[in-house]
Amino acid sequence: MKIIAYSVRKDELQYFEKFAEQFGIEYATTSKDLNTETVKLAEGFDAVSSYTSSEELNDVWEPLSKMGISYFTVRTAGYDGIDIEKAKSFGIKISNVPQYSPSAIAEFAVALSLATLRKIPLCLSRAKNQNFSVNNLMGRELNTITIGIIGTGHIGLTTAKVFKAFGAKIIAYDTFENPQAQNILEYKSLDEVFAESDLISLHIPLTSENRHIINAESIAKMKDGVVVINTARGGHVNSEDLRDALVSGKVAAAGLDVFEHEKSLIRKDLSGKIIEDSVYRDLANLPNVIITPHVAFNTDVAVQNMVKMSTENLISFKNAGTTDNEITK
Ligand code: NAD
């Protein structure tokens, strides 16, 4: 089997080599993203692997099908840009990697929570500047606060367990109540989670229904001084509304691994450049905001699993016509 993998980072290469050998397949890799220009590189391959799942992919289903390629995988859990019906109409079968390491994201969400609650960036810059005053550095303890988890699937439930180990009270909202969450958290309505949480952590996939689930209206329902953590998708948060609430003090702090308009920023080195997006600039300059470059997934275990499981998906498409992780069923 011959597979071409797009958007391959240097740190992923070792895993493509490892699993090509282990599964007895041929892998070609490119750092280029898949789009209508680069799709021609797929000519002669049996299947395609992509790291991104942006809307541009919907323009490659037709050229791929013309090349006789119908097996496609993303190496991520999220696939919010993909138009599944359009892909199906061209006979493309698509899979994702739903559980490459829920702990990778969960632990990062908790790290962002601790960093915002204990004002770690401010502590670091003070010490670096030889300012050893502790004024305005008072933090809050996880064991004294209520955490609101929105979305209690693989990542949300794992996050809840880690917060629970710190002694926090956990409440949660999900459209589907996870039976494994019994003894770990208490389900509440979304409005109750907004009203009762000291810190809200998002763990839902992005859909048209939950876009901007955090906006001026929902923030108004939250406690004064709430902390917002987003490691899910940028589109869940109306970033202008969040900025305004951070400036007014309604929201005490935010930890954002994902950003609503990250498309023009993600995976690029823009060091020294002026970023056009003024909302991003405002957020990045606020002392009570931590922004990280969509990196919550990025652990050794997770990246290895992303390559391994996506490869298994494609092999299963070839051998069995489907995989447990097919999203086009
Ligand atoms: P999952 O499918 O296991 O769980 C999602 C949960 O959200 C489910 O329990 C579902 O019932 C619930 N849900 C869906 N829509 C909802 C809504 N409108 N309101 C309340 N609950 C809702 O998914 P997961 O593996 O836990 O991943 C969650 C999300 O995390 C992914 O979709 C992805 O966007 C994000 N993610 C981010 C990174 C990163 O690096 N920052 C990495 C992986 C995943």
- Judge contact between 176 and 197, C-beta under 8 A: no
What pLDDT, on a 0 to 100 scale, did the predictor assign at position 60?
97
Picking from 159, 169, 160, 164, the residue whose alpha carbon sits closest to that of residue 107 is 159
Q: Helix, strand, or coil here: 320?
A: helix
What pLDDT, on a 0 to 100 scale, did the predictor assign at position 78?
84
Q: How many Å is the maximal CA-CA distance in the chain? A: 66
Atom from ligand 1 closest to the CA of residue 209: 18
What pLDDT, on a 0 to 100 scale, did the predictor assign at position 54?
82
113-133: b or e for each residue (b if 16 or more CB lie within 10 Å)? Answer: bebbbbbbeeeeebeeeeeee
Ligand 1 mean position to 130 CA, how many Å?
42
Ligand 1 mean position to 246 CA, how many Å?
25
Q: Which residues pair with 237 in a beta bridge?
A: 214
Does 194 contact ligand 1 (Cβ within 6 A)? no
Does 51 contact ligand 1 (Cβ within 6 A)? no
Mutate to test the pocket of ligand 1, among 76, 155, 297 (most ligand atoms within 8 A of CB): 155
> Rounded CA gap, 285 and 283, in Å?
5
Ligand 1 mean position to 41 CA, how many Å?
32
Active site residues per annotation: 233, 262, 294
Ligand 1 mean position to 203 CA, how many Å?
5
Tell me the pLDDT of the chain (329 aa) as tens digits: 999 999 999 999 999 999 999 999 999 999 999 999 999 999 999 999 999 778 899 999 999 999 999 999 999 988 988 999 999 999 999 999 999 999 999 999 999 999 999 999 999 999 999 999 999 999 999 999 999 999 999 999 999 999 999 999 999 999 999 999 999 999 999 999 999 999 999 999 999 999 999 999 999 999 999 999 999 999 999 999 999 999 999 999 999 999 999 988 988 899 999 999 999 999 999 999 999 999 999 999 999 999 999 999 999 999 999 999 999 99
Does 302 contact ligand 1 (Cβ within 6 A)? no
Does 75 contact ligand 1 (Cβ within 6 A)? no
Q: Helix, strand, or coil here: 14?
A: helix
Q: Which residues pair with 3 in a beta bridge?
A: 27, 47
Read off the tokens for 121.
Answer: 């960036």
Atom from ligand 1 closest to the CA of residue 178: 9
Query: What is the 3-state secondary structure of 129-158?
Result: CCCCCCCCCCCCCHHHCEEEEECCCHHHHH
Spatial strand order in the sheet of 226-230: 186-187, 169-173, 146-150, 199-202, 226-230, 251-256, 289-291
What pLDDT, on a 0 to 100 scale, did the predictor assign at position 29?
98
